[in-house]
Structure 1
Amino acid sequence: MSLRERIFDLHTPESVDRFLETYPLAAIFKASTSDRTFEAWGFVERAIENRTDLALGLIRIPEDRPASNWVEERSGVRHQSPQFILFRNGKPVFDLDNREIEPERLSQLLAESLPVHLGAAVKNPAVVGLHVYADLLRRFVQGNLSEERFQWGYLDQLKKEAGWRSEADFELLNSLFENPDGRAFRPATLVALEFQSQLAGRGRPLLERARALLARLEAQA
């Protein structure tokens, strides 16, 4: 089971309460668009990927500010971003903020705080898979979506999810475009790079690359 299947998007105070009341063993990660968030997320991802009994709530700043404010009020943990908070039975166990989120410290606190034996695996029934990307690719390949609209739709979707997608998923989805900036990319930059590449006649046409990626997504569905 991948970490992606245990991620719950938290947008409102109600979603925070429902999440913490449903899962006795849970963590919340507050993400912004900073480079530090991407680095911290990578550390968190590696530290908890094998803890299949740990549910992970994701709060994006600034759009999920209502949820973030409620976490602060409910837990008494002062808001920071990025921030990782571990909960047991709805109560905070520890939190790490900004530069404190680093592999050694994170692993130590998790080892001290999590049960020795794995509990029942967590799975988000509403988890966002890769079907959104497959649908965009399919519409483009079939001629139902213009190249311009496809590029913006695909890249805007990937940008929203860049902070939490697993390494494997992000690398697969990111492979469609020339991207020198990794998870910190800007859609406008990649659209411009694609245009320049087409003018220069470099590489395979976008439509051909899209067909190949769609085949890969359908094969693993």
Structure 2
Amino acid sequence: MAEKKKIETREQFDELAKKESFLLIKHSLTCPVSGAAFEEYESFLEDHGDINTAYLAVQEARPLSNYVAETYNIKHESPQAILFKNGEPVWNTSHWKITSDSLSTALKS
């Protein structure tokens, strides 16, 4: 299983952005929909141990969450999944659309 890496700073994000591809999850600690999406993310990780991935807790990393939204012109949502390739977002989805299957499909495209 891939390591669930929690990030909280722009520096940590910038390190990830140097990778060929990575999946970022924006997660709310208080939202039941976000909790369900995070469980789907964890399920996805069980089958994709080789993916570079990280998550941020919106309540604990609001500046980072805003930075990602503003820098990449992706409207902030929570929960939200964003797939980056070569430093650019190539896919994103939110809320109930975050499933283990949708994450797997995004990786293949």
Q: Which has the higher contact order (CA 8 A, sep 6+)?
A: 2
Task: Determine which of 49, 52, 67 is the counterpart of 1:52.
Answer: 49
Deviation, 1:38, is: 1.5
C-alpha contact 1:26 1:87 (8 A) present in aligned 2: yes
Q: Within 5 Å, which residues of 2 pair with 1:60-79?
A: 60-79=57-76
Q: Within 5 Å, which residues of 2 pair with 1:7-18?
A: 7-18=4-15
Gap runs ≥5 in structure 1: 113-221
C-alpha contact 2:37 2:79 (8 A) present in aligned 1: yes
Structure 2 match to 1:106:
103
Deviation, 1:53, is: 2.5
TM-score by length of 2: 0.85
Structure 2 match to 1:89:
86
CA distance in 1, matches of 2:47, 2:96: 23
Deviation, 1:70, is: 1.1
Q: Give the number of aligned pairs.
A: 108
CA-based RMSD of the aligned residues comes to: 1.7
Structure 2 match to 1:43:
40
Deviation, 1:94, is: 0.3
Between Structure 1 and Structure 2, the one with more helix by share is 1
Task: Determine which of 27, 31, 34 is the counterpart of 2:23.
Answer: 27
Distance 1:51 1:104, change over 3 A: closer
Segment drifting more, 79-88 vs 40-49: 40-49
Deviation, 1:37, is: 1.2
CA distance in 1, matches of 2:43, 2:8: 24
Deviation, 1:106, is: 3.3
TM-score by length of 1: 0.45
CA distance in 2, matches of 1:59, 1:90: 18
Distance 1:75 1:53, change over 3 A: farther
Larger CA Rg, structure 1 vs 2: 1
Gap runs ≥5 in structure 2: none
Deviation, 1:49, is: 2.5
User: Does the residue aligned with 2:69 lie in a helix, a strand or coil?
Assistant: helix
C-alpha contact 2:84 2:90 (8 A) present in aligned 1: yes
C-alpha contact 2:44 2:101 (8 A) present in aligned 1: no
User: Does the residue aligned with 1:10 lie in a helix, a strand or coil?
Assistant: coil
User: Does the residue aligned with 1:77 lie in a helix, a strand or coil?
Assistant: coil
Distance 1:53 1:102, change over 3 A: closer
Q: Which amino acid aligns with 2:104?
A: S
